[in-house]
Amino acid sequence: MWRKMKIIPVPKKASGDKNVKFGPIAITSSFLKTMEKLLILPLQPVIKAQIDPYQFAYRRKRSTLDAAVLHHNIVFNLEKDQ
């Protein structure tokens, strides 16, 4: 019951094409969102300890920019040592 979602198709960028592409939007209940938050908070420290420190995707306050900067620094230091 509380896991029910309503999926609404939303058209992607408008174009002159007759074949309109749609992206799904899931509307969830407030109860579900609250339960997910309450369940995930105690699990976060355990999950964080299991994730590789160089994992940038799907992590809070991490992005592909962090990965690019790390890569740049490694290459820069390797070239500097030669």
**pLDDT (tens digit per residue) in 26-81:** 888 888 888 888 988 898 889 888 989 888 888 888 888 999 999 999 999 999 87
Domain ranges of the chain: 1-50, 52-82
21, 11 contact by CB (below 8 A): yes
The model carries a pTM of: 0.46
